[in-house]
Structure 1
Amino acid sequence: MEVGQPAPVGKRAWLVLGMLCFVYVINFLDRQLMPILAKPIQDTMHFSDGQLGLIGGFYFALVYCFISIPIGYLADKTSRSKVLAASCAIWSAATMSCGLAANYLQFAIARMTVGFGEAGGVPPSYAIISDYFPRSRRGLALGIFNTGPGIGAALGVAFGASIAAAYSWRYAFIVLGGVGILAAIAVLVIVREPVRGGLDPVPAYPVKKGSFWETFAMFFSRKPLVLAALGGGATQIITYGLQNFAVLFLMREKGMTLGEVAVYYSLVVLVGMTGAMVIGGAMVDRLARHSKAAYALIPGVALVLAVPFFIAFVTSPTWSSACWFLVVAVFLNHFFLSSNVTLVQQEVRPDQRVMSGALLLLVMNFIGLGLGPTYVGAVSDALRASHPGQSLQVALFTLVPFYLVAISLFLVLARVLRRESRKPTHLVGEFVE
């Protein structure tokens, strides 16, 4: 472990958290532009639902997930803030390239390059936050950070749809990608590299820095970490399948316009996703003090409650009523993220945090991001002949069984965490409470 004074917990910590959250907003804003603008892109480029699903799902996840491992390892061994800044610059430039694409292949390559850059965005941020905030405040800090997707998606809807409605969908990619270039420069100025493990309990005995394969083996040998990743992956089949096709569904099958999307759908995403991250993070901090099972029960119970609202959203006769049910479903669907991230960051050594965060995202995103949009798009294409006006509605409805899979995995995780809590020492190897 590196030695030195603990990272300060004060104005500097909150400033860094704010900067990291802003970069995460840009990260998700750029990622969500394609599903937000799917209808005008389809009208111009003539992509099918299946092609959109592959670009937003399997192709993106293939690059995003597997490049995150070497980038995570690099960040664990070097400067996490510089890795983050470089990644932000890459994905932002690639986003601008999407607006210049002339055909499917060019668009797909640009989106895959966005995934290449974004792979270095989140894991280093998790580790930096964990070294700026003590264990007792980490869940809230990570919960606030995880509002980035909700804010980013909402701003992407508001600005992306507005720019596309006023000018062209291509300008939306170019303008918003340019904002990310400026954010990358700001990271270099604002985010100072904190001491690794400076706010963690003193190790029971000297810790050696783990190798790539040691961290890899540790992660996949621990049931709680694997179950959390699998439960998150099953949940993300639902969340990413929904995110990538909700706007297209509301516009094509419910009659929503781009102008209405810019206002009402952006509010759905902002309230639903950000509310879940902040409230979920605060609940983790409070309830996990009494029982580690809270890391699993919080998302498990939320998903049980989400099922009827999701079904009501899919079957609603109008876009306005669908949005009311969707905001609740989105809110409950996203409780898992703060719980999963906090659990992993608490359970591993400081020198393994970026790599472990990358492995968590690898499993969750390869399952959820890789399969969710790809699955929904393929099912919709298959149903276009038999259900020409409702193919996306039926495709989204087939996501319901994945709720049962995710709930089951989180219940198993709760049982494992209860069993581990009874052990005298329950943290990984070197660290004790």
Structure 2
Amino acid sequence: MDASKSPIEQDFSPGYKRFALAMLTAVYALNFIDRQILVILQEPIKAEMGLSDAQLGLLSGFAFAVIYVTAGIPIAYWADRGNRRNIVSLAVTVWSGMTAVSGLAQNFSHLLLARIGVGLGEAGGSPPAHSMISDYYPPAQRATALSIYSTGIYAGILVGFMFGGVLAEAFGWRTAFMVVGIPGVLFGLFLRFALKEPARGRWEPPGEGGSSPGLKQTLALLRNRPSFWYLALGSAFISYVSYGNGNFIPSFLIRNHGMSIAEVGTALALVSGLSGAIGTFLGGYLGDKYGARDMRWYLWIPMLGILLAYIPYSFMLVTEHTMLGLWVLFFALILNTFFLGPCIAMSHTMVAPAMRALTSAALFFVINMIGLGLGPFLTGLVSDLLVPAYGDQALRYSMLITTQVSLLAVLMFALAAKHLRTDLARQRGEAA
């Protein structure tokens, strides 16, 4: 069974589709293990290399994000034409190898180059994986399937935080990088033989898939989809908060609550990992359930989740009670992570199948340049600037400032919902 067969001929069993989704979810988990391992290790790295919070933000955010989003567009263009399975396999092998190399870094420049290498590899993960999932599953199941895939983020955070903290305390931060990186190289090679490439557009009406358009054509179409840009900005602004604060929560708990790196790793593995997985799955499930009545629920659900999370998230940053703060953070993160599955599903629904990988790349370009690129760097920079006035409390106030950006996300999702029906009608007319 291969991608050369017609959509009618190619029929994967339910068991195989679950297996493929599990493998791609594992890819995304590994993506975030290798991406987020730096976050739990940054305090010992800062102490050894004498880094500032702004430099930590560059390593975990901007330097990674620039290469990630820059490479993501041409790789997505390749994925809309080439074999997506092979691209994912190669990407996993590259980013895992560069994670292991991070453990050999002797200074800031070495570590910066290694993280750029991780970003280059990870750029080849999500766009082809999103496209494959949309061809494994029909439209009515896509948000749920993509949300299950997106739980890989939080599975990766759980594993990275828990084992990264324990490994760092027992063997040092260099060993932690190598232990999580080397197995990924082997997993990347395994994927080349374990996954099957699905036919493109197999769930769409005949002729809707069309030829593979270029970036210029895709962006020209997206210019006529205002709901896409509003949902992209909404996703980017909540990601700004998630990455900006999330990348410094370990440092915040160590500096302001006196926790050890192993304690922080275990606590955040459970809090961030479990809450994010629950919230991401629920967001997709609720989107598919209520979106069947009105497609705008795919955007209203993220909007309401972020709005309800604002006060508890802010409370977590000001309370001196560590356990209470962690419990509040757990529930706030469930609500804050509703957005990903519905937003990916809606972005795919408003374009032709042959544009999906490029559309995912455009979505993640906006999310990662604003969220990952600016969030950690500006949060770290503001923390450095506040040190003269607030001392040890500088990071706390910087994170509170970052939290206010979530209100912009609420506004963007409301505007996206306002335009969604018109954009979906336009897509149906263009596909006819």
2:388 is matched with 385
Which of 236, 239, 242 is the aligned partner of 1:236? 239
Q: Is the 8 A contact 2:65 2:119 kept in 1?
A: yes
RMSD: 1.6
Cα distance in 2, alignment partners of residues 135 and 121 from structure 1: 21
| 1:287-366 to 2 correspondences below 5 Å | 287-366=290-369
Amino acid corresponding to residue 117 of structure 1 in structure 2: G
Q: CA deviation at 1:418?
A: 4.1
Q: 1:419 to 1:197 in 2, by over 3 A?
A: closer
Q: Is the 8 A contact 1:238 1:399 kept in 2?
A: yes
Q: CA deviation at 1:25?
A: 0.5
1:20-57 Cα offsets, whole Å, 9 max, x none, are: 00011000000001111111111111111010011212
Q: 1:74 to 1:404 in 2, by over 3 A?
A: same
1:429 is matched with 430
- Give the TM-score of the pair, scaled to structure 1: 0.96
Which of 124, 133, 148 is the aligned partner of 2:152? 148
Cα distance in 1, alignment partners of residues 87 and 63 from structure 2: 23
Cα distance in 2, alignment partners of residues 258 and 409 from structure 1: 37
| 1:184-195 to 2 correspondences below 5 Å | 184-195=188-199
1:368-397 Cα offsets, whole Å, 9 max, x none, are: 111110110000000111111111100000
- Give the TM-score of the pair, scaled to structure 2: 0.96
Q: Establish whether residue 215 from structure 1 lines up as the match of residue 218 from structure 2.
A: yes
Q: Establish whether residue 273 from structure 1 lines up as the match of residue 276 from structure 2.
A: yes
Q: 1:98 to 1:407 in 2, by over 3 A?
A: same
| Paired residue secondary structure (1:193) | coil
Consecutive unaligned residues of structure 2, counting only runs of 5 or more, are: none
1:332-364 Cα offsets, whole Å, 9 max, x none, are: 111111111111122221111111111110011
| Paired residue secondary structure (1:41) | helix
Cα distance in 2, alignment partners of residues 277 and 131 from structure 1: 21
Q: Establish whether residue 180 from structure 1 lines up as the match of residue 181 from structure 2.
A: no
Q: Is the 8 A contact 2:165 2:266 kept in 1?
A: no
Cα distance in 1, alignment partners of residues 430 and 366 from structure 2: 23
Q: Establish whether residue 27 from structure 1 lines up as the match of residue 6 from structure 2.
A: no
Q: 1:362 to 1:420 in 2, by over 3 A?
A: closer
| Paired residue secondary structure (2:292) | coil
Q: CA deviation at 1:319?
A: 2.3
Q: CA deviation at 1:211?
A: 2.3
2:40 is matched with 36
| Paired residue secondary structure (2:114) | helix
Q: Is the 8 A contact 2:33 2:160 kept in 1?
A: yes
Most deviating of 229-238 and 345-354: 345-354
Q: Is the 8 A contact 1:207 1:430 kept in 2?
A: no
Amino acid corresponding to residue 23 of structure 1 in structure 2: V
Which of 48, 52, 64 is the aligned partner of 1:48? 52
Q: CA deviation at 1:134?
A: 1.0
Cα distance in 2, alignment partners of residues 208 and 343 from structure 1: 21
Identity level (%):
33
Q: Is the 8 A contact 1:132 1:194 kept in 2?
A: yes
1:83 is matched with 87
Q: Is the 8 A contact 2:154 2:276 kept in 1?
A: yes
Which of 409, 413, 428 is the aligned partner of 2:412? 409
Q: 1:231 to 1:339 in 2, by over 3 A?
A: same
Cα distance in 2, alignment partners of residues 232 and 176 from structure 1: 28
Which of 132, 136, 140 is the aligned partner of 1:132? 136
Amino acid corresponding to residue 384 of structure 2 in structure 1: D
Which of 280, 285, 300 is the aligned partner of 1:282? 285
Cα distance in 2, alignment partners of residues 409 and 93 from structure 1: 38
Cα distance in 1, alignment partners of residues 138 and 241 from structure 2: 32
